[in-house]
Amino acid sequence: MVQSEAVQVLNVSKSFSQGKEKPEQVLRNISFHVKKGEIVTLLGQSGCGKSTLLNIIGRFEREDSGTVLFGGKTVDRPNRSCIMMFQNYGLLPWRSVLGNVELGLEEQGLNAKTRRTRALDYLRLVGLEDKADSFPLQLSGGMQQRVALARALAIEPELILMDEPFAALDTFTRYHLQNELLRIQKQSRTTIILVTHDIDEAVYLSDRILILSSNPGTIHKEIGVHTTKPRDRGHGDFQHFRKQILEQFHFNGAISAAEFSI
């Protein structure tokens, strides 16, 4: 049987204890699946457990109960087929742009020429081939994020986990990178799980949106964004999905929509 599920999260629960206090349950019985090539977004209030869930999927954190399957199999440790991208880019300032993109390839046993060619290919894909010899601090925030994206893609992972990757960027750079991401993802068909509190970003990028409730985090609602990409932010369909999400948060009662980037 062909395994079309890239990731299955089955009944995952997680608690944290701080000092002598009673453990606090952060995630309760979270179950969902992500198909190969899908973009699925986790959307929810600050503190509802989105990053914890992403860390569990990336195997940086361990669930208390439940299972995470990749292509139907359990995985114990972080590995190259699943890459995490953070909002602070995680670039090494003392390495050139090319050196940063090559970083993830060094563990793969590729020779220097192959590494360089592949890194340059991915820099070209994100439009930064001409910055190969620059250093991260010589680039704008948007460019640094593109380098981080090139580095993640160069590893050719099956799954990219993105924790608010564009949150630190200004609106126009964010819109530009969202378009870049969609263009590249369409080519590479990489599966993406994205965490954001930006409703607009979620509707623009996602095939499906999972809205998490808080205390403890559970999946409150799944919304399939059934419109073609690229999407028009001014179109009625886009507004329809935005409204649907806002209604979920109002319905949820616990928070005001003003807490979200709308």
* Contact footprint for ligand ATP (CB under 6 A): 16, 18, 26, 44, 46-52, 197
Hey, how many other C-beta atoms are within 10 angstroms of the C-beta on 218? Answer: 18
Residue 31 CB, shortest distance to ligand ATP, in Å, is 17
CB closer to ligand ATP, 49 vs 136: 49
Nearer to ligand ATP, 11 or 138 (CB): 11
Distance CA 139, CA 247 (A): 40
Cβ distance to ligand ATP smaller for residue 47 or 127: 47
Provide the minimum distance between the beta carbon of 188 and ligand ATP in the complex, in angstroms, as a whole number: 26
Smallest gap, in angstroms, from Cβ of residue 42 to ligand ATP? 8
Comparison of 106 and 259: residue with beta carbon closer to ligand ATP: 259
**Euclidean distance between CA atoms 95 and 182, whole angstroms:** 28
| CB of 43 vs ligand ATP, minimal distance in Å | 10
Residue 44 or 104 with smaller CB distance to ligand ATP: 44
Picking from 213, 203, 172, the residue whose alpha carbon sits closest to that of residue 53 is 213
Residue with tokens 């964004």: 225
Closer by beta carbon to ligand ATP, 87 or else 144: 87
| Terminal CA-CA length for the chain | 42
Q: Which residues contact 11 (CB under 8 A, 6 or more apart)?
A: 29, 30, 31, 65, 66, 67
Q: Rounded to an integer, what distance in angstroms lies between the CA atom of residue 110 and that of residue 119?
A: 11
Q: Which is nearer to ligand ATP, 101 or 192 (CB)?
A: 192
Are residues 85 and 152 in contact, defined by beta-carbon separation less than 8 angstroms? yes
Q: How far is the CB of 206 from ligand ATP (least distance, A)?
A: 17
CB of 190 to ligand ATP, least distance (A): 22
Select from 110, 55, 106, 104 the least CA-distant residue to 78.
55
- Least separation, in Å, of the C-beta of 50 and ligand ATP? 4
Kindly tell me which of 151 and 197 has the beta carbon lying closer to ligand ATP. 197
- Across the beta sheet with 24-35, the strand order is 24-35, 5-16, 65-70, 73-74
Residue-by-residue DSSP string for 142-179: HHHHHHHHHHHHHT--SEEEEESTTTTS-HHHHHHHHH
Q: Closest approach of Cβ 9 to ligand ATP, in Å? A: 14
